[in-house]
Structure 1
Amino acid sequence: MSQIHATAIAIDEQGILLRGASGAGKSDLALRLIEQGAQLISDDRVDLTLKGNDVFADAPVPLQGLLEVRHLGILKLQNLGATPLKLVVDLTSPEELERMPEDQTVTLEGVELPLLRLNPFEASAPAKLSLGLALKLGHIERVE
């Protein structure tokens, strides 16, 4: 098991890990996704555990159900327990993003996972994340 600085949410019980520096927009993007029906797994710190061939994300006990919402404070929300990760999203500035990126992966706990890179502050970021998850799960396809 390891613990990382990140935020984890789930869409249809498919875990998504949001990574980025402090202030990168992890909690903000998570909040917008939760508003659209996603579930909180953990904010700020995420425990990663290997179970079989899956990496599970969970909240450390002191942080369970807590989400920092800037200008409102730390709020208590309902949270999902340990959930298998299906996607990792690195949050970055628009200048660092490619218009037509190649498929990327990242290895966590010895497991290779699909990786997306997004600007979390774009209005379309929640939609792009949802489409990226559908793409990585094989529910939609990219035309080459």
Structure 2
Amino acid sequence: MSDDPAHCQTIHATSVAIGGKGVLLIGGSGSGKSDLALRLIDRGAMLISDDYTRASKRDGRLILDAPETIAGKLEIRHLGIVETPHVGGVIACLAIRLDEAPVRMPDIGSTFSLLGVELPLVVLAGLEPSAPIKAEWALLSLDGQAKG
């Protein structure tokens, strides 16, 4: 991983790997990043990093890792910070921005740019009960593999 600041950046985002594909969960404090990550982990995802994610650019792709100081740690509100299995070096495939009231029928083709790499972007209500399922569907739809 390059230490060149032009190729590496730590951002305020939680990240998980779903089926080996990196998903950035972006939102302000209290928007549900850790909560959604916890529910995705319960459904089989793996934690990459909670609250802050280190992104590096390699071969035109974003690679997601945890900063060393928080690797393997997840905040569970009202319980504290817990140790959990985690992975690193995962290619980012999707960004999800958490919003309390996302639009019902969003524009297709929204993107999130980081280090000059564009990721597909979806906006979800992170605390909504169906948010983990919607996140999985969004990731599957990138490959045209939507369930049905």
What is the TM-score normalised by the length of structure 2? 0.91
SS in 2 for 1:120: coil
Give a deviation string over 1:19-54, Cα, whole Å, max 9, x none. 000111000000000001000000011101001021
What is the TM-score normalised by the length of structure 1? 0.93
Q: 1:67 aligns with which of 63, 74, 81?
A: 74
Q: What is the total number of aligned residue pairs between the two structures?
A: 139
Range with bigger deviation, 132-141 or 65-74 = 132-141
Q: Does 2:120 align with 1:123? A: no
**Structure 2 match to 1:100:** 105
Alpha-carbon separation, structure 2, partners of 1:59 and 1:106: 19
**Structure 2 match to 1:109:** 115
Q: Does 2:56 align with 1:49? A: yes
**Structure 2 match to 1:33:** 40
What root-mean-square deviation, in Å, do the aligned CA atoms of Structure 1 and Structure 2 show? 1.1
Alpha-carbon separation, structure 1, partners of 2:61 and 2:81: 30
Alpha-carbon separation, structure 2, partners of 1:137 and 1:85: 14
**Structure 2 match to 1:21:** 28
SS in 1 for 2:103: coil
Unaligned runs of 5+ in 1: none
Superposition misfits of 4+ residues, deviation over 3 angstroms: none
Residue type of the alignment partner of 1:132: A
How far has the Cα of 1:137 moved from its partner? 2.6
